[in-house]
């Protein structure tokens, strides 16, 4: 059977946004993907697992050590110290190469472990974190204290799950293999950046330096915690791209105060840069606030492939999308959509989002002014097919055509989407390991979020997946946690590390 998504919504969207309609694609649900053909990994690594169990307190402390080191990239707080900590840990593990990589921004870190193995695994890491408002936290964000959660004991800290906890857990697994076997089953290449939370503007410089060697790898993983609170494992094979920019309106020849704010009563005779910015932003979308009316913005969205349609069909059979609104605290999705439409738009719909907007006086009491400038940070998530430079050019051209040439546009980040096939050896190895731990994954072709994975899939030609058992939440938010002692269905730290170790063995043998 075939379903045409969103037919009921199109008429409403059409009325609200002229002749522009958000992309809706036909999805064939008759051939749902199943992991049944992939047997659970059965390799015997009891000695490595026993080592992890015996060292779990020290391993927990290693996670806390990383989380206690501030590395707020947006504010350049502790960033270089964290880079040195990562480099030092590579060196302590016996990596023959462990070095800082200077870029135009924050430094990267390169690590290489030559095991003389047939296969090489590349690991992408990020060591930076988002800013914090300490007053919003139950426990100070850089104390990395152990707290109780419904899923068990967890470390609460900025970067706990995004991504210091999973990444240091991976290195703990590497340590365990080396301590027991004396050698790794695969060679390791690790590139760590300190600007992921800034949109990875200089990560390509790190790849530049090692590109020829990186192309010799056989696959790439990004350590992460992939289980929901009930223990369900979700595996994504790709990400959307992103463009991120600032818009700024200032007084000038068009009108408005130029050098400083003026008395609010003068709005009777002077234009407002704040209102001009609001009008410029509003021109980007239809009256519904969701349909992007920038000419041609939807034109290049690639329709779902047969493999993606199969994955979507399988995902819908297993995922409980009904709980997503409750988990996020959202009462209603756009147009009241549900089920298949929700999954479709998360994967295939470009977005136009305001991340922050500010101008004038926002303090207590009253201050009647007409501000001379206003600024907004914005982003657009891009599905496969949309070139980020072309998207930005279309936005700029649209603003100019609508008379907003004076509104400045400062681009802060831009990169395309990424996709890996479910049929690759790396994906099969990951599924086999997950099944060993009773965490058979539901496989989603692409996440709604963004990361610079195109550097691996497009530039280096390598399969790339996030991988990791475990549960964490609160990324970019207060009270971020990473569970280390499970009280239910999610994996604790020992099991997380055993799965990382098993993946190295499984990938070497596949």
pLDDT at 88 over 50: yes
Give the start-to-end residue ranges of the domains of the chain.
Answer: 2-35+239-415, 46-237+420-509
Q: How far apart are CA 277 and CA 409, in angstroms?
A: 11
- All residues at 6 or more sequence positions from 228 whose CB lies less than 8 Å from its CB, including other chains: 234, 471
C-alpha to C-alpha distance for 429 and 288, rounded to whole angstroms: 44
Distances (CA, A) of 8 to 293, 339, 376, 451: 20, 14, 33, 33
Cα(227)–Cα(230) distance, integer angstroms: 8
Q: Supply φ then ψ for residue 391, to 5 degrees.
A: -60, -45
Average pLDDT, the chain: 94
Is pLDDT at 174 greater than 80 in this prediction? yes
Q: For the domain bounded by 46-237+420-509, which CATH number is listed?
A: 3.40.630.10
Instruction: Give the Cα separation of 263 and 368 in Å (integer).
Output: 6
Name the region of 456 (left: φ>0; alpha: ψ -120 to 50; beta: rest).
alpha
Whether 324 shows a pLDDT value over 90: the answer reads: no
Q: 107-146 pLDDT, tens per residue?
A: 999 999 999 999 999 999 999 999 999 999 999 999 999 9
Structure tokens at 203: 């990560």
| pLDDT at 18 exceeding the cut of 90 | no
| Predicted pLDDT at 1 | 36
CATH architecture under which domain 2-35+239-415 falls: 2-Layer Sandwich (3.30)
417/412 Cα distance (integer angstroms): 17
């Amino acid at each position: 059977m075939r379903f045409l998504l969103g037919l009921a919504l199109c008429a409403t969207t059409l009325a609200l946004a002229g002749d522009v309609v958000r992309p809706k694609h036909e999805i064939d649900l008759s051939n749902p993907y199943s992991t049944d053909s992939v047997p659970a990994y059965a390799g015997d690594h009891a000695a490595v697992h026993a080592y992890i169990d015996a060292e779990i307190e020290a391993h927990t402390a290693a996670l806390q050590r990383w989380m206690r080191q501030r590395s707020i990239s947006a504010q350049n707080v502790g960033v270089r110290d964290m880079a040195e900590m990562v480099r030092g840990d590579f060196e302590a593990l016996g990596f023959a190469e462990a070095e800082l990589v200077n870029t135009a921004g924050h430094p990267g870190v390169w690590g290489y472990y030559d095991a003389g193995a047939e296969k090489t695994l590349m690991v992408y890491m990020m060591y930076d974190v988002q800013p914090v408002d300490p007053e919003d936290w139950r426990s100070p964000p850089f104390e990395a204290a152990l707290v109780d959660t419904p899923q068990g004991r967890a470390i609460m800290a900025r970067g706990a799950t995004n991504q210091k906890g999973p990444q240091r857990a991976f290195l703990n697994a590497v340590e365990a293999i080396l301590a027991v076997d004396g050698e790794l089953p695969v060679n390791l290449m690790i590139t760590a950046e300190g600007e992921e939370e800034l949109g990875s503007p200089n990560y390509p410089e790190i790849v530049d330096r090692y590109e020829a060697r990186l192309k010799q790898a056989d696959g790439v993983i990004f350590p992460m915690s992939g289980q929901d609170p009930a223990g369900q494992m979700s595996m994504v094979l790709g990400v959307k791209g992103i463009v991120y920019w600032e818009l700024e309106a200032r007084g000038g020849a068009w009108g408005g105060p130029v050098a400083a704010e003026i008395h609010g009563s003068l709005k009777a005779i002077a234009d407002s840069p704040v209102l001009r910015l609001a009008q410029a932003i509003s021109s980007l979308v239809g009256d519904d606030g969701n349909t992007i009316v920038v000419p041609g913005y939807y034109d290049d969205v690639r329709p779902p492939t047969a493999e993606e349609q199969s994955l979507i069909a399988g995902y819908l059979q297993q995922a409980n999308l009904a709980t997503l609104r409750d988990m996020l605290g959202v009462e209603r999705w756009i147009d009241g959509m549900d089920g298949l439409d929700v999954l479709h738009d998360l994967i295939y719909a470009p977005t136009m989002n305001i991340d922050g907007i500010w101008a004038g006086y926002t303090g207590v009491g009253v201050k009647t002014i007409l501000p001379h400038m206003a600024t907004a940070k914005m982003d657009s998530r891009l599905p496969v097919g949309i070139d980020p430079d072309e998207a930005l050019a279309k936005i700029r051209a649209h603003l100019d055509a609508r008379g907003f040439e004076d509104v400045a546009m400062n681009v802060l980040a831009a990169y395309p989407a990424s996709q890996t096939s479910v049929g690759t050896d790396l994906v099969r190895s990951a599924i086999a390991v997950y099944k060993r731990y009773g965490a058979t994954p539901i496989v989603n072709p692409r996440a709604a979020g963004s990361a610079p994975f195109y550097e691996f899939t497009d530039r280096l030609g390598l399969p790339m997946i996030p991988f990791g058992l475990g549960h964490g939440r609160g990324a970019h938010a207060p009270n971020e946690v990473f569970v280390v002692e499970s009280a239910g269905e999610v994996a604790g730290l020992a099991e997380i590390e055993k799965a990382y170790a098993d993946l190295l063995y499984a990938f070497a043998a596949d």
